[in-house]
Each structure stands twice: as structure tokens, then as C-alpha cells.
Amino acid sequence: MFNRISIRDFQKKFTTEDDCKKYLFDLKWGSGYHCRRCNHHLYYPGRTSFHMRCKSCDYDESVTAGTLFHKIKFPLLKAFGIIFFVCVRKKGMSTLELSKTFAIRQKTAWLFKRKLQMAMIDAGFTDWKNVSEQLNFEISDHPSSKSDIECAHHDGSILIARKKGSPITATCIIQKENNNTNITLEASRKLIYRFRKKVVTGNSEYVPLNKNNIIRSIGDIILSNLKNWLKGIHHHCSLRFLKGYLDEFFFRFNFRRQLKTIWHQILLRLISRPPYFYKPNEL
């Protein structure tokens, strides 16, 4: 298991495509082989060192088949680097930065980061019974100019749990817009800027914010950091894909004290999730 947070150590560990495939091979089949098609556990060597051929149905499976790496369009070495920068860096990286750093198209970086976000859903949040604070807020699109376009509104809740002796964990739930709210194509392209808090409920925990002893709830601080991260790193995101960016934010938040294993954890999720193919009309 790779458990370093230094980019130099990462570059020493993964220098070729075979290094990446070997790591995925050990993660996928290290505890035993099972055919994806017939679930048989006996195999022959495949057509390469990183393939397995089932003895029952003769299916030759690659190390990336059936995972979120399925049919990846650029080298695994670059994919591993993108995962490292997105997960280990404190604030991640925008797709524009990733495209410049790894010499790939911005759309390609966006599509792969979308797969990462699919693997980050509700990561680390399992204490539904220990929710100590719930922060309800409203999200709306913000037209750049005055017009008759109707704004789309979503209701959201940040759930914060803290078990004794464990770090604070959190997640965000977004509800779709009301049935009587219409989102036109033009409105859906507007930028997300407004997070309007509605109410804080539950047994809130409070911490000092500065030297003047100004007190704010943990939920308020998380919400403030979330807004600054969206506007500062990504500048904007569409209403359709906001949930993915929220999953990314809370993934890093929940694994903030496990930086040495966060990269390995997301790799485990990537190989255990089924392939994802972008659908232009998804919400």
C-alpha cells in the first residue's frame, strides 16, 4: 500500500504504466480471483501480465475492466497523478489546472474528475445516529444580468456527526428543485454563487473563531469553507453537477486526518465501482 503524501515519493513509486497496472492488479485480485461474468474462481494467465482468463467461460479480463478506469482515454500514469493531486492536496485542483499539469484536454480532465466524484459519494460518513448538528440551506443559480429567467432553487442539508473519540464527519444531502420550478436551458448554464442558510437545528457544537472570542457553529465554518472553495478553486460549477463537487469537498474533509491512506482509499473505491459513462442530460 502506498502511504506517502510527498509528490517526490509518489513519482519514485510510479514511473511507468506497468507500475500503475501492478498496483491495480494487487488491489483487484490480491485477495483472490472471481470472474465478472460467471463468478468462477479458477483462471489461466491472460494475454498480458495484467489480464486474467477464466477457466469456465474463457473471459479474458483486464485490470481496468469493470472499474471506473474502464476505457480510460489517457495513460494510467497520468490518471494516478490526477487522483493524487485531487485527493492529497488540501484544496484539490480545478480541471483547468489538471489539464495544464498533465497535458490533457480540459474536458478529458473534467470527465475523469467526474468519475472520481462518483467514487467519493458519502465517503467516511456512517454515523447517521450520531448527528449532532444539521445545517439547512438553500442553493440557487445567480444570473449574471437582470432578466426574466426563473432561478432554480435546491434545498440542502449538511449533517455533522461526532462520536466520542473520533474526528468530526459530515456529509451533504441535496434535494431536487420543487416540481413547480422550471429550469430552462439558459438558466441551467448560470453559475452557482449563493448559499443561503435557513436554520440550524440539533445540539450544535461551537468553537472559537478568532481572538475576539467570536463563536460560530462548526456547520457555519464548514459552509463558509465550502463557498470559498467553490469560488476560489473552481470559480463556478453548474447546478447539474453541484452534488459531485459537494461529494469531493466532504470526502477530503472526512479523510483530512488520514492523508497517508486517502490515495489508497480512493483507489479501492475506483476499482470496486462499476464503469461510469457521462450522460449529457443527467441531473
Name the residue with cell 483462471.
Answer: 43
Task: Encode pLDDT of 96-114 as tens digits.
Answer: 999 999 999 999 999 999 9
Task: Encode pLDDT of 256-273 as tens digits.
Answer: 999 999 999 999 999 999
Q: How far apart are CA 159 and CA 3, in angstroms?
A: 29
CA angle 158, 159, 165 (to 5 degrees): 135
- Return the higher-pLDDT residue of 50 and 242: 50
Residue type, 159: L
Segment 56-85 mean pLDDT = 94
Segment 122-128 mean pLDDT = 70
Cell numbers linked to 42: 479458477
Please tell me the predicted confidence (pLDDT) of residue 204.
44
pLDDT at residue 45 greater than cutoff 80: yes
| Three-state SS at 180 | coil
- For the entire predicted model, the pTM comes to 0.82
Segment 8-21 mean pLDDT = 94
Q: Which residue blocks in 140-199 are alpha helix, DSSP H?
A: 185-188
Q: How far apart are CA 79 and CA 88, in angstroms?
A: 14
What's the pLDDT band for 181 if we cut at 50, 70, 90? very low
Cell numbers linked to 261: 491512506
pLDDT at residue 165 greater than cutoff 50: yes
Highest mean pLDDT among 90-99, 129-138, 237-246: 90-99
Classify residue 273 as left (phi > 0), alpha (psi -120 to 50) or beta.
Answer: beta
Mean pLDDT estimate for the chain: 80
What's the pLDDT band for 54 if we cut at 50, 70, 90? very high
Please tell me the predicted confidence (pLDDT) of residue 132.
80
Please tell me the predicted confidence (pLDDT) of residue 176.
57
Please tell me the predicted confidence (pLDDT) of residue 13.
94
Please tell me the predicted confidence (pLDDT) of residue 121.
87
Task: Encode pLDDT of 136-145 as tens digits.
Answer: 777 766 544 4
